[in-house]
Structure 1
Amino acid sequence: MFRKRQSFSVLTCLLISGLLATACGNADKRESGTANNQAGNAAQGQEEILIGVIPAQGGNEMKPGADKLADVLAAKLGRKVTAEVYPDYNGVVEAMGAGKVQMAYLGPLTYVEAHERYGVNAIVTQLIEGKPFYYSYLIAPSDSPYASLEDVVANAGDVRFAFGDINSTSGSLIPGIALKKAGVFKSQQEHQFASVTYTGDHTATALAIQNRQQDVGAIDSAYYNNLVKQGKVDGKKIKKIWQSEELFQYPWAVVNTFSDEDIASIREAMKGIDDPDILGAFGGASGFAEASDEDYAAIRQAAIEDGRLKPKP
């Protein structure tokens, strides 16, 4: 009886070993085939491109236009292109650094940070009324007693102040520098205002001012004007009380593995876009134009001044 049981056990082990060897062999073949397919796709330039988009106007507002842009670029490049609007500005920068995003729509500040950290390069920017510039505005309810930056500073203790995203150029960096120079603001925890809030995007800031949830807000001029044009905020209920100097518009940036040919194709495709859904998603743009890293020298200097970037030795 013992010998029969022993024989049965041996046969069972042999059978299991054979099945495992076959399964492993098939898995190796599948993995090898997948790797070969991926290598072949890469060699043919067929790898997918994921575009990361900062939520400058709010994710829901930008997603349809971003998807249409992805379709335009997919047709031009002959490969799959998808777009994702991230929940915050810094998330797009980190996604580029992690290799999850190959092309991104960034604010000027997030661009210079991404360039310094991960070597990404600006290739395209948006135009507003034919020009690649915009401003930081301070806005307030139309009947507000505050009519200037000086009024805001003089009455800081009574002012509920709203920035946009903490990494926004026009919604945080530029107005923040002005308020620091005036001596009423250092950080969200250290300031002379009644309160300091970061709303997360320009639409939220405009609505907070319109609905009197905040007294003064920092906002992108192009996005604000587009919100008024689209009727999403009531321009009669809001007034501009301060304007910065010209800021170079938001860049589209790519990781440094993009070929010159692909960059030229992207530029060509984007300069030909006239779809109102795409243009409207990006601050009511009138079109797109070429850009380069040198265009953001002033923003880089402002980020260094604010302690967000270290000066190069």
Structure 2
Amino acid sequence: MTAGHRCDIGNPPFGHLGESAVREWFRGAKLELPDLYSFDGNPQGFRLISFLSGNDNYGLNLTATLLLSSVKYPWKLENKPPDATKIGLFSSDWQSYCDACEKLDWTPGKPFPFMLLMDTADEIAYSMSDLEDGLEKGIITMRDLQDEFGKERLPTTNIKEMIPFKTRVINEAVEEAAHSFCHQLGQILEGDKFFLINKTSDIHHFLKKVKNFARKKIYADRSAEQIELAGRSVIRGLLNHFGSLICSKPDQPFPENDFLSLINNNSDTIKQRELDFELRLFRRLPISYREKYNDGARGTESLRRSHLILDFISGMTDDFALETYQILEGIRIK
């Protein structure tokens, strides 16, 4: 239930509870890093594909079209619309986004047409995947689905019926979305807010019913919530440990010169400053991410260092995050 969506490839472990834990930690650290007070999987996902991945500073080296198609919220914190609750880009990645816009003669801040297709595909696919997750984990049964959605949608309670059920729903939704995109392309190109699945359509009402069912029967299940609650503690614990490379305690930043000693493997300074524990934490960070930290064009040193820690933690799986946390807490020795 914590699987990431299209733009949530940047989600930390444990999904949205993990995101919330990151925001809480950075606010509590009282560092002047407002971008990270609004941390979210969407801007982290763009950072991953446009910068972090790969050997150069262009990430996966995607086309400008694909980069813009991945940005659900085309704004950073400084120009976020008053009614927006999330940001889609970190300030350090804004220039990469603008460069992609320039290549396509597209106005920054205007939703990109193909983003609507990707976002709608995301909604369709994951609404059904939530049901599959619930079945796989034993939280719900095929009988539950039949009782909720009727025998017309699910003629039998045989598990083999799930694939044709899923396929029929997806095909119906895709057909509705494709029709809307083709017939409303002019409005979409203007950047107007637009839903490809008409809110009055039967498939919209059905997908809404699926979401409500998942929220009530799957997300709220005790086992799912226990994982999320534990995950919040894991993320906070990881940040408490690795965050010592950012600040030892609120309002006491870890000195930049000391961090540079770790970067440059300056053994004399490390020994003199008694940075043995910090050195071992630092060695856990991926070498490729450490190299990205050196890109001075991407914000202040404090911001780049904080991103470095978050890049590492956000890239963890749930299991690896738990294992790392247990090691740091002395619960497990590997």
Tell me which interval the TM-score lies in, with the shorter structure as reference length.
Answer: under 0.3
* TM-score normalised by length of structure 1: 0.28
**Structure whose residues are more often helix by fraction:** 2
* TM-score normalised by length of structure 2: 0.27
